[in-house]
Amino acid sequence: RVHSVVAVVNPWVLVPTFVITLLFYYLRKMYLSTSKSVKRLESVARSPVFAHLGASLQGLTTIRAFQAQEILTQEFDYHQDIHSSAWYMYLSTSRAFGFWLDLVCLLYITTVVLGFLVTDLDVFGGVVGLSITQAMGLTGMLQFGMRQSAELENIMTSVERVLQYSTLDRELPLEEPLDQSVLERWPNKGRIEFQNVSMRYSLHLPRVLKDINFVIMPQEKVGIVGRTGAGKSSLISALFRLHTVDGVILIDGVPTDSIPLDILRTNISIIPQEPVLFSGSLRTNLDPFQQYSDDQLWNTLAEVEL
């Protein structure tokens, strides 16, 4: 309706209207090519800030006991600086987009006004004023539509991150699962053997483990020494089948790829580099699935001298 009012008074206004529509589309396309990536970066940088803040609030007692306030403050400042830089870039791109939209709208209104001055049209002054008013309303609606559509595209990056989980590679089911009688007796000694084991974190990344062969006898204590990134933690990942492994890993002579994941991972324990306590009681952390009695837990704590 707004565009019709302007076109009826001065049909030549259709030309700059078409041009401004193309300019708006071009600006929106150019803006989204950058803003979507910046929005993704901002979303990724925001998660460590909230995670650090939540962990600090839950561990206030421990932080005060070890007087680690300064360390936690420095870590928070580090995460906040990274997020603030990404957020600043997102705001800057948004403001630049708005500035160019305003500039195009100004040029359009100027063109409409000059069109009435240059063309020899016998129209009333009130009609001209109405046309200019409607032209300003038209640019406002176009500008608002472009802003909102671009903002919708940016916000959809959050949905995009959620949808990525639906496309994750699923762990394949066992082709020949072991008999229940074998699983009940497994593991009984703890012998670990790697036979030509190779592993990579992604199909497009190089191998982090290359044809590894070794045997760890029962009750042996083995130290793995290497620089950062040498693959020490990757051995544990391969043992837990966190990634696709080429080769064979045997535990007490049984290939780990023939054992259901829930049984495999519940029979392997690991002490991480950074200890973590889940919310709840100490008993819940020791036995989260409520599989053991209190006497068994106390005996286990006594064996490890805790």
Query: CATH number for the domain including 194?
Result: 3.40.50.300
Number of domains, the chain: 2
CA within 13 Å, CB half, 99:
6
Strand ranges inside the chain, DSSP E = 192-199, 209-216, 245-251, 254-255
Quick check: 42 pLDDT over 80?
A: yes
Quick check: 240 pLDDT over 80?
A: yes
Q: What percent of the chain has pLDDT over 70?
A: 87
Q: 98 and 8 share a domain?
A: yes
The overall average pLDDT reported for the chain is: 81
Q: How far apart are CA 25 and CA 22, in angstroms?
A: 5
Q: 7 and 37 share a domain?
A: yes
Residue 135 lies in a domain: yes
Q: Are 128 and 29 in contact (CB under 8 A)?
A: no
Q: CA 202 from chain center: how many Å?
A: 17
Q: Are 57 and 43 in contact (CB under 8 A)?
A: no
Q: Tokens 């007796």, residue?
A: 185
Q: What is the pLDDT of residue 261?
A: 82
* pLDDT tens per residue, range 253-287: 888 888 888 788 888 888 777 777 777 788 888 88
* Closest by Cα among 244, 247, 287 to 269: 287
The stretch 178-193 carries a mean pLDDT of 78
Range from 46-50, 109-113, 289-293 carrying the lowest mean pLDDT: 109-113
Of the pLDDT bands very low, low, confident and very high (cuts 50, 70, 90), residue 289 is confident
Q: 92 and 220 share a domain?
A: no
Of the pLDDT bands very low, low, confident and very high (cuts 50, 70, 90), residue 88 is very high
Range from 39-43, 155-159, 221-225 carrying the lowest mean pLDDT: 155-159
Q: What is the pLDDT of residue 79?
A: 93
Q: 137 and 201 share a domain?
A: no
Residue 268 lies in a domain: yes
Quick check: 2 pLDDT over 50?
A: no
Q: 45 and 149 share a domain?
A: yes
* pLDDT tens per residue, range 118-177: 766 666 666 667 677 777 777 777 778 888 888 888 788 778 778 877 777 676 665 456
226 is in which domain, residue-wise? 182-275
Range from 169-178, 230-239, 244-253 carrying the lowest mean pLDDT: 169-178
Q: What is the pLDDT of residue 126?
A: 67
